[in-house]
Homo-oligomer: A and B are copies of this chain.
Amino acid sequence: MAQTGLAGKRSYHQYCGLASALDVLGERWTLLIIRELLMGPRRYGELLADLPGIGTNLLADRLKFLVDSGVLRQVDVHGTGGRLSYELTPTGQALRPMVLGLAHWGLEFVGDLKAEDTVRPHWGFLAVEAMFQWDKISPIDESYQFQVDDEVFRIDVAGGVPRVAKGPSENAAMVATTDAATFVRIGAGRVTPLMAMVGGQLKLEGDIDAVLRCCELLGLDAGAAPAAQAVSGH
C-alpha cells in the first residue's frame, strides 16, 4: 500500500526518496507519533496523553494518513477490552534506526528543563537504545534495570548483544532508580551519573563492576567528569 499520496495533500513533488519520505513523515507531530509506537502498540487516548498540545483533530488526521500510507495499522491488543490500538507495520518498524539516530543527535540540543517542558520516562529510554557502543560490549550476560518514575525498563545483554525491553528483570546485576528528567539529562551528558548520585536524583544498587560495564555500554563517563573538581571540594 505504498505511494498513496492521498489526493490533495501537500507534496514536495520531487522524484527523490527523501522527499517522498518527508511527504509521508514530514508534517508536524508525525515522527513523535512514530516514536510513541516504537515501544509497542498504543491507543488513541494514550497517544493523546503523551503528546501534549497535539489537538484531537490533528492526531486523528495523522493516524488516518499513516494507516493509509501503510506505516501503521490498527490492532486489537488482547486485554484492552476490544478497543483498537495502533501499531507500526514492518514498513514503520524500518524507521527505528533513523528515529533513534535523530533522538540521539537531538540530545545535543536539549537545554535546561523549563517549566513548560513535559517529560516521560520512556522518552529517555528510547535514547538508551541509540547510545549503545557496539564496539565496547562486554561478553558477560547480565541485565540492568531502570526504575524511572513509575515505569520500569531493562537492558538484557546476552551473547554480546544488548536489547532493551519494558518491565523488570528477574536478576538484575544493577538497578538504577531516578526521575525522567534526570534520566534524559544523563543521556544528554548534561550531568554524569556520579553528579546525579551526589545530588540525590539517582540511586544505583548492585554490583559496582556491572555499573561500570553499563556505563561503558552507553558511552557514559561513569563518574569522573567535568565536575570532578567541584565535587572534590567535599
Give me the interface of A with B, judged by CB distance under 8 Å. Answer: 1-5, 12-26, 28, 31-32, 35, 52-53, 69, 91, 94-95, 97-99, 101-111, 113-114, 116-120, 123-124, 126-127, 130, 180-181, 184, 187-188, 232, 234
Contacts and interface: CB of A to CB of B under 8 A. Distances in A.
Contact of A17 (B25, B110, B114): B110
A110 B31 contact: no
Nearest to A26: B28
A contacts with B: majority SS: helix
Nearest to A50: B14
Given A18-B32, A35-B18, A103-B18, A109 B23 contact: yes
A199 B15 CA distance: 20
B21 A111 contact: no
Given A17-B105, A104-B17, A12 B32 contact: yes
A214 to B, nearest CB: 19
9 contacts: A2-B108, A3-B109, A13-B53, A14-B32, A15-B180, A17-B104, A17-B107, A19-B123, A22-B106
Contacts of A3: 108-111
Given A13-B53, A31-B26, A184-B15, A21 B103 contact: yes
A99 B15 CA distance: 16
Contacts of A31: 18, 22, 26
B111 A14 contact: no
A35 B12 CA distance: 14
B117 A15 contact: yes
Given A2-B232, A26-B28, A98-B98, A106 B17 contact: yes
Contact of A14 (B15, B98, B117): B117
Contacts of A98: 98, 101-102, 105
Contact of A109 (B24, B97, B181): B24
Contacts of A28: 26
Nearest to A107: B17
CB-based closest 6 A-B pairs: A21-B106, A3-B111, A16-B123, A17-B106, A18-B103, A20-B106
A22 B32 contact: yes
Most chain B beta-carbon neighbours within 10 Å: one of A21, A28, A111? A21
